[in-house]
Amino acid sequence: MNPAERGDDQNGRQAVSNRGRLPSGRPNPVDVHVGNRVRLKRTLVGLSQEKLGEGLGLTFQQVQKYEQGTNRIGASRLWDISHVLDCPVSYFFEDMDDQTEAASPRNLSTTTTEPEHAEADPIAKRETLELVRAYFKIKDPHVRRRIYELTNSISMLEEELD
């Protein structure tokens, strides 16, 4: 079998999938990051996957695949998502770490190894999202401020103990 049939490039390296996936077949970390940001924003505004899907003319399963990075989000769809979630398109690319940026299909075309799997972003965890939503449900700004100060004090204590 020649290199082209095997999926190798001209230099004998394994070619990156034309669908932006990693050589292992896993979703590209950039797509996973964008999907996590969609889930984060959707949760923060209080929409279910079903409601977001309705706003986009999709099923909740398709929204789920976007959020997991299983299916890549095209530019026009990302534009629509930004309007439904009332945020700029750039929001979906914010807070991307260097390792994820390096996993861009453009950069992977010369990479022979797969990037290490990054730790899950604590901002994207359900517990964090629920905490933020509960925090903003507190109407009294003074109470919110005191809760912020309390959690900040506890975290500083934890750092001192480590």
All structural domains of the chain, each given as residue ranges with its CATH number in brackets, are 3-115 (1.10.260.40), 125-162 (no CATH)
Taking 70 as the threshold, does the pLDDT of residue 130 lie above it? Answer: yes
**53-65 confidence digits (pLDDT tens):** 999 999 999 999 9
Q: HEC states along the chain?
A: CCHHHHCECCCCCECCCCCCCCCCCCCCHHHHHHHHHHHHHHHHCCCCHHHHHHHHCCCHHHHHHHHHCCCCCCHHHHHHHHHHCCCCHHHHHCCCCHHHHHCCHHHHCCCCCCCCCCCCCHHHCHHHHHHHHHHHHCCCHHHHHHHHHHHHHHHHHHHHHC
From CA 64, how far away is CA 7, in angstroms rounded? 30
Taking 80 as the threshold, does the pLDDT of residue 112 lie above it? Answer: no
For residue 125, give Cα distances in angstroms to 24, 27, 137.
Answer: 25, 19, 19
Can you tell me the mean pLDDT for 125-148? Answer: 86
Taking 80 as the threshold, does the pLDDT of residue 17 lie above it? Answer: no
From CA 151, how far away is CA 133, in angstroms rounded? 15
Please give the pLDDT value at position 96.
86
pTM score: 0.60
Please give the pLDDT value at position 23.
66
In a 13 Å sphere around the CA of 161, the CA atoms on its Cβ side amount to: 6
**Confidence band (pLDDT; 50, 70, 90) for 113?**
low
Q: Which amino acid does the sequence have at 43? A: T
From CA 76, how far away is CA 53, in angstroms rounded? 15
Mean per-residue pLDDT over the chain, rounded: 80
Give the relative orientation of helices 141-161 and 126-137 as an angle to the nearest 10 degrees.
Answer: 140
